[in-house]
Structure 1
Amino acid sequence: MKKFLLLALVIFSINAVAYNFYFANIHAHTAFSDGSSTPTDAYTYAKNYVDIQAITDHAYYFRQKIDNQDKLLLTKKMAEDATVEGKFVAMWGFEWTGGVGHINVYGTTDWTDRNESDLKNLYKWIVSHRALAQFNHPGVTYGNFYDFEYDLEADKYINLIEVGNGNTSRRTITKEMYSNYILALNKGWHVGATANQDNHRPNWGSANDTRTAILADALTYNSIMEALKQRRTYATEDKNAKILFKCNDFWMGSILKDATQLNFEIKLSDDEPFYEAVLVSQSGDVAKWRINSNEFSTSYRIVPPDGYEWYFLYVIQNDWDEIVTSPIWVQYGDVHVVNLHEKVSGRNVDVYFDLINTSNLPVHCDISVKISNVPARTEAELKAREIKQITVPLSNVESGIQTVEVFLNGFKAQTGTVEVKKGLIIVDQSHENTYESFWKTAQIDIENQGYQVEYSQRFFKKVPNASMVFLTLPSKDSFPELRMLNDFEIENLVEFYKKGGQIVLIALKNSLIEDSYNTLLEKMHIDAKLAQSEGNVFLFKNDKMLDFYEQDGFLFISCEEPSQLMKKLKGRLP
Structure 2
Amino acid sequence: MKTSFLLSSLVPAAAGVFQPSAHAAVREHLELEATLLAPYHGDARGARPDARTFTLSFEYPGLSGRRPVTWRLDLVAPSGRRVARWQGRVALVGRPADAAVRWTGSVAGHRPAPGVYRVRLHAASGAESVDQAWDIAVGALPAPALPRFAPLATGHARMLAVPAAGALPYTVYYGNLHSQTRDSDGGGPVDTCHGAQDPQSAPYGPDAAYPYARRHGLDMLMVSEHNHMYDGSDGTNPDADPAKARAMYQAGLATARDFSAANPGFLALYGMEWGVIGNGGHLNIFDSDELLGWERNGKGELIADTETPKSDYAALYALMRQRGWTGQFNHPALAGQFVVNGTPLAYTPDGDAVMALCEVVNSSAFSNSENEGETRRSNFEQACDKLLEAGYHVAFSSNQDNHCANWGASYSNRSAVLVPAGAPLTRASFLDAVRARRVFATMDKDAQIVFTANGHLMGERFDNAGALHLQVAYASTSGRQAATVAIMEGVPGRNGDVTQLSDQADVTTTPAPGAHFYYAKVTQDDGKVLWSAPVWVAQAALP
TM range (shorter): 0.5 to 0.7
1:241 aligns with 2:447: yes
How far is 1:72 from its partner? 2.3
| Equivalent AA in structure 2 for residue 58 of structure 1 | H
Q: 1:306 to 1:12 in 2, by over 3 A?
A: same
Is residue 474 of structure 2 the alignment partner of residue 268 of structure 1?
yes
Residues 198 and 13 of structure 1: is their aligned pair in 2 closer, same or farther, counting only changes over 3 Å?
A: closer
Report what 1:324 is aligned to: 531
Report the counterpart of residue 288 of structure 1 in structure 2.
503
Task: Within 5 Å, give how 1:308-457 maps onto structure 2.
Answer: 308-332=515-539
Name the aligned partner's letter for residue 271 of structure 2: G
Contact 1:173/1:195 (8 A) holds in 2: no
2:226 corresponding residue in structure 1: 58
Please tell me whether the aligned partners of residues 468 and 511 of structure 2 are also in contact (alpha carbons under 8 angstroms).
yes
Cα 1:132–1:68 change in 2 (3 A) is: closer
CA contact (8 A) 1:57 1:93 kept: yes
1:151-203 C-alpha deviation (Å, 9 max, x unpaired): 012211111111111234125351xx111111111110000100100011100
Instruction: Give the counterpart letter for 2:503 in structure 1.
Output: K
Aligned to 1:101: 281
State the alpha-carbon separation in 2 of the partners of residues 301 and 232 from structure 1: 22
1:133 is matched with 327
Structural mapping, 1:24-39, within 5 Å: 24-36=175-187, 37-39=204-206
Q: Which amino acid aligns with 2:172?
A: F
| The one of 451, 457, 462 aligned to 1:256 | 462
Question: Structure 1 residues 279 and 101, CA, compared in 2 at 3 Å: closer, same or farther?
Answer: same
1:148-227 equivalent positions in 2, closer than 5 A: 148-167=345-364, 168=367, 169-170=374-375, 172-174=377-379, 177-217=380-420, 218=423, 219-227=425-433
> Mean alpha-carbon deviation: is it higher for 197-206 or for 54-63?
54-63
Q: Which secondary structure state, in structure 1, belongs to the residue aligned with residue 349 of structure 2? A: coil
Compared CA separation, residues 48 and 13, structure 1 to 2 (3 A): closer
CA distance in 1, matches of 2:526, 2:168: 32
Q: Distance between the aligned counterparts of 1:81 and 1:206, measured in 2?
A: 23
AA aligned to 2:229 is Y
Amino acid at match of 1:288: D
Q: State the partner residue of 2:265.
A: 87
Q: What secondary structure does 1:223 align onto?
A: helix
- Native 8 Å contact 1:147 1:183 kept in 2: no
Whether the aligned pair in 2 keeps the contact of 1:28 and 1:56 (CA below 8 Å) is: yes
Pair 307,57 (structure 1): closer, same or farther in 2 beyond 3 Å: same
In 1, the alpha carbon distance for the partners of 2:322 and 2:464 equals: 30
Distance change (3 Å), C-alpha of 1:220 and 1:259: farther
Identity %: 27
With over 3 angstroms needed to count, the CA separation of the structure-2 counterparts of 1:173 and 1:251, relative to structure 1, is farther
Distance (whole Å) between structure 1 residues aligned to residue 394 and residue 334 of structure 2: 20
- Of the three residues 224, 245, 250, the one matched with 1:73 is 250
Change (3 A) 1:203 1:187: same
Q: Which amino acid counterpart does residue 274 of structure 1 have in structure 2?
A: A
1:452-510 deviation per Cα after TM superposition (whole angstroms, max 9, x unaligned): xxxxxxxxxxxxxxxxxxxxxxxxxxxxxxxxxxxxxxxxxxxxxxxxxxxxxxxxxxx
**Superposed CA offset, 1:203-227 (max 9, x none):** 0011111110111124222211111
Distance 2:221 2:417 in 1: 12
C-alpha distance in structure 2 between counterparts of 1:60 and 1:68, whole Å: 10
The CA deviation string for residues 82-127 of structure 1, in whole angstroms up to 9 with x for no partner, is 1156420111110111322111101111032354322221111111
Post-superposition offset of 1:67: 5.2
Contact 2:347 2:390 in 1 (8 A): yes
Higher strand share: 1
User: C-alpha separation between the residues in 1 aligned to 2:351 and 2:255?
Assistant: 29
CA 1:171–1:325: 2 relative to 1, 3 Å? farther
Using structure 1 for the length normalisation, give the TM-score. Answer: 0.52
CA distance in 2, matches of 1:141, 1:284: 21
Whole-Å separation in 2 of the counterparts to 1:93 and 1:189:
22
- Read off the aligned partner of 2:457 and give its amino acid letter: W
Match of 2:171 in 1: 20
Change (3 A) 1:141 1:304: closer
Q: Distance in 2 between matches of 1:18 and 1:319?
A: 29
Residues 402-423 of structure 1, C-alpha deviation per residue, up to 9 Å, x if partnerless? xxxxxxxxx69xxxxxxxxxxx
SS of the residue 1:121 aligns to: helix
Work out the CA distance in 1 between the residues paired with 2:163 and 2:333.
45
Q: What CA distance in whole angstroms lies between the structure 2 residues aligned with 1:223 and 1:73?
A: 22
For 2:481, what is the secondary structure of its paired residue? strand
User: Could you report, residue by residue, the CA deviation over 1:501-535 in whole angstroms, capped at 9, with x for unpaired residues?
Assistant: xxxxxxxxxxxxxxxxxxxxxxxxxxxxxxxxxxx
Tell me how far apart the structure 2 counterparts of residues 131 and 316 of structure 1 sit (CA, whole Å). 33
Higher RCO structure (Cα 8 Å, ≥6 apart): 2
Does the 8 A contact of 1:23 with 1:240 survive in 2? no
Asked whether the equivalents of residues 172 and 210 of structure 1 are also in contact (C-alpha less than 8 Å), the reply is no
Task: Tell me if structure 1 keeps the 8 A contact 2:334–2:383.
Answer: no
Partners of 2:294 and 2:452 lie apart in 1 by: 38
- Mark the CA change 1:87 to 1:303 in structure 2 (over 3 Å): closer, same or farther: same
Provide the C-alpha distance between the structure 2 equivalents of 1:259 and 1:12, rounded to a whole number of angstroms.
Answer: 33
Structure-2 change in CA distance of 1:90 and 1:66 (3 Å): farther
Match of 1:112 in 2: 292
8 A contact 2:517–2:536 mirrored in 1: yes
| 2:488–2:499 CA contact under 8 A, matched in 1 | yes
Instruction: Tell me by how many angstroms 1:51 deviates.
Output: 0.5
Query: Could you tell me which amino acid in structure 1 is paired with residue 333 of structure 2?
Result: G
Tell me how far apart the structure 2 counterparts of residues 68 and 105 of structure 1 sit (CA, whole Å): 18
SS in 1 for 2:230: helix
Conserved? CA contact 1:102–1:142, under 8 Å: no
Structure 2 runs not aligned, ≥5 long: 1-161, 188-203, 232-239, 296-307, 368-373, 491-497
In the TM superposition, residue 55 of structure 1 has moved relative to its aligned partner by 0.5
Check conservation: 1:97, 1:114, Cα contact below 8 A. no
SS in 1 for 2:352: helix
Query: CA 1:320 to 1:171, structure 2 compared with 1: closer, same or farther past 3 Å?
Result: farther
Q: Does the aligned pair in 2 maintain the 1:33–1:57 contact within 8 Å?
A: yes
Q: Sort the Cα spacing of 1:92 and 1:182 in 2 relative to 1 into closer, same or farther, 3 A.
A: same
